Chains A and B, each alone.
Chain A
Amino acid sequence: MKLIELINEKLILVGLEERDNHDAIKVLGNRLLTEGYVKDTFIDAAIQREKEYPTGIQGVEINIAIPHTENTHVINPGVAIGVLKEEVLFNKMDNPDERIKVKIIFLLAIKMPELHLEALKEIMNIVQDAEMIKAICVGKDSKEIINIIGREDK
C-alpha cells in the first residue's frame, strides 16, 4: 500500500502547538482513535514504546519521528501526520541518549508490516527529500499536504 492510501485529510494535523513529544503523540493518536483506526489502548502503547525504543530520525535538514506500536492495538491501517508549529524533542532511534528536534511526526498504525513497506519507504524518502519535506512543513492545511504526498506517488 502506498502512503497516500493510508492517509486522509482527517489524519493530517497542521500547526500542532504541543511542546512535548508524548503530548503530540496523544493528539495524533486521538485522531486515529476517533476515526476508528486504532483501539483505545493504542496511544498509551505507542507512548510506552517511544520511551523504550525511540523513533526520532535525523533528516538532511528537518527531522521526523515515526512512533508506532504492536498491531494488536490497531483496527485499520493508517498514518496520522502531525506538523508541529515548533519542533519538539524526540530521542533518536539509533542513539536513544541523543535528542533531536522533530518537525513532522508520522504516527503509524500498522496492521501487517509487509503490506506497508511501500509506505514506510516513502516516508524514508521524504526524510531525504529536502524540497518535499519543506513543502510539507509550510503546507497550509491537510489538503495541501495530501496533494504533495499524492504527487510523489504518481
Chain B
Amino acid sequence: MAKYNICVVCGSGMATSVLISQQLKDLLKQRNIDANITTTKVSDLGAVSHYNVIVTSTLLPNNLDVPVIRTMSFLTGLGMDKDVDKIVNILQGNK
C-alpha cells in the first residue's frame, strides 16, 4: 500500500496542528489510507518536498512547492468530509 507523507502546520505547533492531525489520521484510516502525519509550526516548516500535501489552519508562505489545504474543518468539524476528499484526491494524484 502506498505510504504518503502529510504535514500539518500551525502557528505554534502546540494546539491546532495536533488536533487536526489526530482528526485527519482517524478519517484517513476510515478510508484505508496509510499516511504518515507530522505536525510542526510555520517557522519550523523547512524543506517540504517530501510531503504529498500540507494541511494548515493558518496562512502559509505561498511559494511552497507542495499542495496546501487551508481549512478550519478539522477543528470545527464543519465540512471535514469534503476536505478529506480533497486530500485523498491530491494523494492519489487525480487533482
Instruction: Identify the A interface with B (CB < 8 A).
Output: 49, 52-53, 55, 57-58, 66, 68-71, 93-96, 108, 110, 113-114, 116-117, 120-121, 124-125, 127-128
Contact = CB atoms under 8 A, between A and B. Distances in A.
B37 to A, nearest CB: 13
Interface of B: 10-16, 18-19, 22, 39, 42, 57-59, 70-72, 75-78
Contact of A69 (B14, B22, B77): B14
A121 B15 CA distance: 10
B38 to A, nearest CB: 13
Given A66-B15, A68-B12, 6 more contacts: A53-B11, A66-B16, A93-B16, A93-B58, A114-B18, A125-B77
Given A53-B12, A93-B72, A94-B72, A124 B19 contact: yes
Contacts of A127: 76
A129 to B, nearest CB: 11
Contact of B58 (A69, A71, A94, A114): A94
Contacts of A93: 16, 57-58, 72
